[in-house]
Structure 1
Amino acid sequence: MRVVDAKSALSLEEARARAKVLREQIEYHNRKYYLEDNPEISDAEWDALMRDLIELERKYPELVDPASPTQRVGAPALEGFAKVVHEVPMLSLANAYSTEDLLDWDRRVRQAVGDDVRYVCELKVDGLAVALRYQDGRLVLGATRGDGSVGEDITANIRTIRNVPLELSEPVSLEVRGEAYMPKREFMRLNELREQQGEPLFANPRNAAAGSLRQLDPAVAASRRLGVIVYQLVRAEAHGCETHSQALDYVARLGLPAHRERHVCANIEDVIAYIEAWADKRHELPYATDGMVVKVDSLALQARLGATAKSPRWAIAYKYAAEQAETTLRAIELNVGRTGVVTPTAVFDPVQLAGTTVSRASLHNEDLVREKDIRVGDVIVVQKAGDIIPEVIRSLPERRTEPLPEFRMPETCPQCGSRLVRLDGEVAWRCINPDCPALLREGLIHFCSRDAMNIEGLGEQWITVLLDRGLVRTHADLYRLRKADLVQLDRMGDKLADKLLHNIQESKRNSLERLLFGLGIRHVGEKAAKTLAEHFVTIDALMSASEEDLMAVPDIGPKVAQSIRQYFDTPRVRQLIQELKDLGVNMTYLGPQKVSDGPLAGKTVVLTGVLQAADRKQATAWIEQMGGKVASSVSAKTDVLIAGDKAGSKLAKAQEILRNHPDAKLEIWDEAAFLRLVDEAGLR
């Protein structure tokens, strides 16, 4: 495959051919990333492919296709969900809670069909059951289980899930069932964000996935990085399959995310051994699991066994017991987050849960603590929500040997002593003092973080030291630091001081969206910051926009608009923006870097292998700042291949091109050559 330039003048047929290549590349890399856990390109390279396709479809609207990966996001909000009748009912599974339950089920199966039975074990993903229907290889429907007979049409939301192919590798018509899930890391990220915003938390990944897929705005589902694991091919016999395991192999060949954590067992004893083997190991998976589904493998035997009104007789779900532990609550600490939310945290005697030692758990808010009657000194029951986040299930008041005081949130901030406030409609108490050291510390850590101003080396440790020494009191003070200030700090030598000051100065050149995200405006995440920067271009235009102007921007609703307006109406914020301006921080959206006279101007560059001095994201940024365009694969149009350590197939292909075409324009650089150019351009 080759990377194409969507900006050149093309005939419609040439554009159609190029769009086909780009779509194939994007779906190929989606499969490598989401199905095989073996990505071949960086996120930046994937983004470049998507940008090329978006630009091509913009210039040639007749090429827009429902199966194009560009159509995964951006669908209009739905007014409601249409109903979907399941031609084959989506039944729920009967549960087994013990080895004895499994043995009883096995005995009933063998009494009905004989002893020659093989079983398939599949880890039970904790998510939302969905049905996916393809017509001539194209995704035409996504639906919830509903009551088993009638579900809801959530096609627009299903289309946003990256590991669900919009088009299969063969033009077949079929329906599969699977589990839509939220990865553990995304669940934690989403709940942390909701806690910062004072919003109710999702109880577990299953609820989070269900809540995401039942959003009427597909953009919300798209932002939550869901996945699907397919566990059944409906009417598999019609596709030439004789067993359930064959059916899953078949759908995997079509490009669907078939269940990989599965095993064919000769008998129930093998089943029990497999279940036991995964009891602890399952916690290492990137998604939450709550059991093991056991199925009769033969489709003919499944048909003979049939189903009750609610459940198939040929399958059962073994549920792992939730790991809980009793411990003693020693303290309730109060933590002030970046947005000022004061969160109570339980501190208890360490216990083992889901393979790790835990001694702390968020109590979220005062209402929850009082509702559960949790008091310091209580014996409490703790577990991990979805096997991920430690939580206090309940206290055991009957175990109290003496009266214990009820918990009450203090009236003042534990960090600065300012009066706490509770906004209408929120459960959280907040500190709104802009000079609160906790707000400043968390805000500065966020400001310097990789996805914000990206001041490398200036992390939590050094921010804390700078605050403690009084060298920094506002974001602007970072840009006033001098070498003499830094070298007086413990473990800060000349070389490190020079590097930090260089990185701080480099951050002044960031595009506006990084600054907007770094400022930590409530409800303005990375995506909203980019949208606002693209729309208003300058911070002055954004600061003067009314709430109505803001709501006219795609994906900016009244809640976000009100938050932005309140933020920029604050005198201290306006003063901070002016100080940052005076110190030379860029306040303009730069857009995709277009450098016409840079050393790589007009050149197509491919990165391969591991770079020691920078990650792919940083290297890509340097190339674009020097006028180059980063491509994902080597072709006749490649000008430069930058080969780091462990370079593989891309380097081999480049060498082959040079062998077969000695006059080719392609050059191969090592990392040192690349870094020399970066340094000459003053980018590092």
Structure 2
Amino acid sequence: MDKTLRMKELVNKLNEASNAYYNGKDEIMSNHEWDTMFDQLAQLEEETGIILPDSPTSKVGADEIGGNGLKKVRHEFPALSLDKTKDIYEFPKVFSKAASGDCVVMHKLDGCTLCLTYDGSRNGGCGRLVQAVTRGNGEIGSDMTYQASYIEGIPMTIGFKGKLIVRGEALMTYSEFERINSNLEEGEEEYSNPRNLANSTITMKEPGLKGRKVIFKAFKLVYMEPAADDKIEVPATFFGALTLLERLGFGVVEHELARAYSSNPDVDSDLPDQIINVMNSFSDRVETLDYPVDGLVVASDDYKTADALPVTGHHPNRLTGFAFKWADECVETTLREIEWSPSRTGRINPVAVFDPVQLEGTTVTRASVHNVSIVKKLRLRVGDKISVFKANKIIPCIDKNLTPGDELTYAESHACTCPVCGMETSPMITHSGDRDVEVEMCTNPNCAVKQVKKFVHFCERDCMDIVGLSEKTLEKFIEKGFIKQLADLYRLDTFERNIAAMDGFGQKSYDNIWKSIQISRKTTFVPFIHALGIPMVGKGQAKLFDKAYKGNVKKFFNDVYNRKTFTDIDGIGEKIELSLWDWGSRYLGWIPFEKDLLDEMRRTSCNTEVYDLLRWIDVEIPAEANVAGKDILSGKTFVITGSVNHFKNRAELQAKIEELGGKATGSVTKKTSYLINNDVESTSGKNKKAKELGVPIISEDEFLEMIGE
């Protein structure tokens, strides 16, 4: 192909990918692929002496797509992109030439670059933030000053009255990225990585931005002009500048001073310089960080001299800042399966499963492919040879398909059925930036994976108290198809081997979970009704119904199904009554059927989730206490602390106290009658408080003796 035509092709592809990178939710090209194309383009430009209009080698980032309503602003100091290399031994060569051999090593943060301006002269001498602008294309960015107040690490005022310009990165942590993706509305496009999420979030209006945590880390003091009465002097070094920013209240990038002078002028690899040792140390820390990092930056500590040096090509002088991009470790392997992983939003995400490979010191067998569009683009089929790497040394990704075949058929590129509920799926087109992205959706509103919160609530301590079934564990079991309805929790022994073999589990973990499930099979009215998640019926309402029905769940369910009036129960109003009736119509349709006649044909005509659950659970009806002893704890207030031996948990002990007319509270006060603690001699805060106030401390055995049991 003609070199100029190839350059045009590369420019178009790179700019399209950059727009998706900076403006969209998703990506159309991996960083590794983008860097490879960029290097090819730069090489062709050097060979031909031609730089095409809009070449990404001559600009930073991408023009920001309009539509967010933010004003465009020209930077006072252009935010140029740094020159970069994948050869770590370039750094001692570059920085040993500086007037000072000291340099600052820091992580290259992977988020959205912001330029902040503080100017006390425009605010009556108060050092207040007057402008926050995104980097944009390096010359022009978007004004998001209003949004800055919601970003952690950006002070609104500082103890400096003059003019100050700071550059830094707005970041989304991996944990916040997972939280937001898991709580998106059904059908809403998921974010592909924390950087895309950070870019989308910082331009949001108040309601959306308020519910998301974005952090800011400064990495450059761009300009500083003290006011006449400022007592703070301009720092003489890069390291001193970052120290000052930290003192002024900014979040600051992790950084360390290093010496670039070499004891060996030829930079012998057998005698590594301190700068290389520090850089390697920073690289090793990446996996411990909760935010994305895509390399390192080294800058001369003598930043005033460095900033005065001329621009080299389209980058500032390397002494101002020189980027080290990790050489992605690409490994070839064989694709064995495209696994479709459902999420609570209804979206079903493709995951590539391949032969085990070693990447960055760990064994990797899976990588997310994000969406149907990428599956189609890569033409992924079982048996294909693929190359994989870890983006930012953390996230496994597919670089390319080494043996792509013809275009995929619909069945090859789509899940077709939901792996959890078995219902047919439907493709859906979502929008990411200026592109359409095809995703796969489960359209069944009752799919178990969409109702993970229901399972989480069922297992909570005040409900069925199933220890070990956290939200993440439940999600994994649901995705694997182990759980589709609540009764399936009591059939998990069917999947004992599968669970014990899962990453992060093992036989002991399974045994502990199964033991807790078995204990939960014996319960009482309040925790069971609370666990069902009936709308508007929480623990408090369950207690009212328990008192009215004396713990008889069967009688309560019959009355709910038959739409009995409940407003005669003190504390139960019309809204709760209507909610109960609606719930009963959906879940209690089996009640009119006689048990022996409940065959499969009739079962399909109603929801039997509660019916199936009751086959595994024994909801005990407490024996009627004699009238004389019914309120034997009336007027007494108890506080419970520590572990219990005779009751399933503290909630069950609390229920017993209330059943006998007593009251249970959380804090020891003068009004407390007894503190129940099996470790009577404990030095805990509650024990100390009880002794100070003269409150008797009794064991669980003494309590049982008190009530005659």
The interval holding the TM-score normalised by the smaller chain is 0.5 to 0.7
Distance 2:480 2:385 in 1: 37
Going from structure 1 to structure 2, the CA distance change for 1:103 and 1:329 (only over 3 Å counts) comes to same
2:136 paired with 1:130: no
The yes-or-no answer on 1:317 pairing with 2:317 is no
Within the candidate set 147, 151, 155, 2:141 is matched to: 151
Which residue of structure 2 aligns with residue 588 of structure 1? none
Look up the match of 1:506: 527
More deviation in 278-287 or 412-421? 412-421
Aligned to 2:256: 263
* CA distance in 1 between partners of 2:244 and 2:609 (Å): 59
1:102 aligns with 2:102: no
Counterpart of 1:249, as a letter, is: T
Name which of structure 1's ranges 321-330 and 131-140 shifts more when overlaid on structure 2. 131-140
From 301, 304, 311, the equivalent of 1:297 is: 301
For the residues of structure 2 that align with 1:504 and 1:354, how far apart are their CA atoms?
53
In 2, Cα distance between equivalents of 1:598 and 1:133: 64
| Aligned-partner residue type, residue 366 of structure 2 | R
Give the one of 188, 202, 226 matched to 2:191: 202
Separation (CA, whole Å) in 2 of partners of 1:516 and 1:420: 34
Conserved in 1, the CA contact under 8 Å of 2:419 and 2:479? no
Aligned match of 1:459: 469
1:228 aligns with 2:216: yes
The residue aligned with 1:246 is 240
The Cα offsets for residues 274-309 of structure 1, whole Å up to 9 and x where unpaired, read as 212333332221111111111111244235435456
Once residues 245 and 534 of structure 2 are traced to their aligned partners in structure 1, the CA distance between those partners, rounded to angstroms, is: 41
Contact 1:236 1:247 in 2 (8 A): no
Instruction: Check conservation: 1:233, 1:248, Cα contact below 8 A.
Output: yes
**Residues 139 and 541 of structure 1: is their aligned pair in 2 closer, same or farther, counting only changes over 3 Å?**
farther
User: CA separation of 1:445/1:394 partners in 2, compared to 1, >3 Å: closer, same or farther?
Assistant: farther
Q: 1:411 to 1:391 in 2, by over 3 A?
A: same
CA positional deviation for 1:422: 3.2
Instruction: Give yes or no for contact 1:237–1:299 (8 Å, CA) kept in 2.
Output: no
Match of 1:361 in 2: 367
Q: Find out whether 1:418 has 2:429 as its counterpart.
A: no
CA distance 1:83–1:408, change in 2 (3 Å): closer
Listed as ranges, the matches of 1:49-68 within 5 Å are none
SS in 2 for 1:377: coil
Deviations 1:128-183 (A, max 9, x none): 11123344244443221233343222123221123433444x36453322111111
Q: d(CA) in 2 for partners of 1:273 and 1:188?
A: 33
CA 1:434–1:253: 2 relative to 1, 3 Å: closer
- How far apart in 1 are the matches of 2:260 and 2:131? 37
Give 1:409's aligned residue: 414
- Whether contact under 8 Å (1:455, 1:504) holds in the other structure is no
Match of 1:345, SS state, is: strand
Structure 1 residues 543, 343: closer, same or farther in 2, change over 3 A?
Answer: farther
Q: Is the 8 A contact 1:456 1:503 kept in 2?
A: no
Which protein shows a greater Rg?
2
| Partners of 1:273 and 1:468 in 2: CA distance | 44
Residues 467 and 98 of structure 1, relative CA distance in 2, 3 Å threshold:
closer
Asked if 1 retains the 8 angstrom alpha-carbon contact of 2:144 and 2:202, the reply is yes
For 1:139 and 1:572, the matched residues in 2 are separated by 64
- Report deviation, 1:102: 2.7
Q: CA deviation at 1:243?
A: 1.2
Q: Contact conserved, 2:237 with 2:301, CA < 8 A, in 1? A: yes
Distance 1:539 1:84 in 2: 58
1:347 aligns with 2:357: no
**Which whole-Å deviations, capped at 9, do the CAs of 1:610-669 have from their partners, x for residues lacking one?**
x889xxxx99xx99x999899xxxxxxxxxxx99x9xxxx98xx99x99xxx9x999999
Match in the other structure for 1:65: none
TM-score normalized by structure 2?
0.55
CA distance in 1, matches of 2:309, 2:524: 67
Counterpart CA distance in 2 for 1:542 and 1:507 is: 15
Which residue of structure 2 lines up, in the alignment, with residue 25 of structure 1? none
> 2:155 is paired with a residue of what secondary structure?
coil
Residue in structure 2 matched with residue 215 of structure 1 by the alignment: 204
| Match runs of 1:421-500 below 5 Å | 421-423=426-428, 425=430, 427-433=438-444, 439=449, 445-448=455-458, 455-457=465-467, 459=469, 474=485, 497-499=518-520
Q: Secondary structure at the match of 1:391?
A: strand
Closer, same or farther in 2 for the Cα pair 1:573/1:142, shift >3 Å? farther
| Structure 1 SS opposite 2:95 | helix
Distance 1:183 1:462 in 2: 23
Q: Deviations over 1:448-481 (max 9, x none)?
A: 46699795427278999999999x9755x699x9
Instruction: Tell me the CA shift for residue 372 of structure 1.
Output: 1.0
CA shift, 1:189, in A, is 3.6
Q: Secondary structure at the match of 2:281?
A: helix
Whole-angstrom distance in 1 between the partners of 2:323 and 2:515: 62
Tell me how far 1:510 sits from its aligned partner.
8.6
1:275 is aligned to: 279
- Matches of 1:96 and 1:119, distance apart in 2: 17
Aligned residues: 501
8 A Cα contact 2:457 2:531, kept in partner: no
**Does the aligned pair in 1 maintain the 2:536–2:576 contact within 8 Å?**
no
Q: Of the candidates 173, 191, 202, which is equivalent to residue 183 of structure 1?
A: 173
Structure 1 residues 410 and 278: CA distance shift in structure 2, 3 A: closer
8 Å Cα contact 1:452/1:514 also seen in 2: no
How far off is 1:505 after superposition? Answer: 4.0
Give 1:514 shift.
Answer: 9.5
Residue 229 of structure 1 and its aligned partner are, at CA, apart by: 0.9
* SS of match in other structure, 1:165: coil
SS at match of 2:286: helix
CA–CA separation in structure 2 for the residues paired with 1:421 and 1:250: 55
Give the counterpart letter for 2:279 in structure 1. Answer: I
- Which residue identity is paired with 1:317? A
Distance 1:629 1:251, change over 3 A: farther
The question of whether the paired residues in 2 share the 8 Å contact of 1:288 and 1:387 is answered with no
For 1:666 and 1:306, locate their aligned partners in 2 and report how far apart those are by CA, in whole Å: 78
Find the aligned partners of 1:397 and 1:469 in 2 and give their Cα distance. 32
Cα distance in 2, alignment partners of residues 409 and 231 from structure 1: 44
Q: Give percent identity, aligned residues only.
A: 27
* Separation (CA, whole Å) in 2 of partners of 1:243 and 1:419: 63
Query: SS where residue 397 of structure 1 aligns?
Result: coil
Q: Distance in 2 between matches of 1:132 and 1:504?
A: 58
Q: 1:367 to 1:208 in 2, by over 3 A?
A: same
In structure 2, the residue matched to 1:161 is 151
Check conservation: 2:351, 2:368, Cα contact below 8 A.
yes
CA offsets, 1:87-122, max 9 Å, x none?
Answer: 3333332222213543553366x3xxx4x3311111
Following TM superposition, by how much is the alpha carbon of 1:349 offset from its aligned partner in structure 2, in angstroms? 0.7
Give the whole-Å Cα distance in 1 for the aligned partners of 2:428 and 2:605.
21
Candidates 268, 288, 292, aligned match of 2:292? 288
Unaligned 5+ segments in structure 2 are 1-66, 121-125, 227-231, 262-272, 431-436, 492-509, 539-573, 583-603, 618-633, 668-675
- CA deviations over 1:366-421 (Å, ceiling 9, x no partner): 332122111110111122344433222321117x8x99999243544455553333
Q: For 1:667-678, what aligned pairs fall within 5 Å after superposition?
A: none
User: In structure 2, how many angstroms separate the alpha carbons of the residues matched to 1:542 and 1:164?
Assistant: 49
Rounded to whole Å, the distance in 2 between the matches of 1:504 and 1:270 is: 68
**Is 1:380 aligned with 2:380?**
no
CA RMSD of aligned residues (A): 6.1
Q: What's the TM-score once normalised by structure 1's chain length? A: 0.56
Residue identity in the other structure for 2:329: E
Aligned partner of 1:332: which letter?
A: I
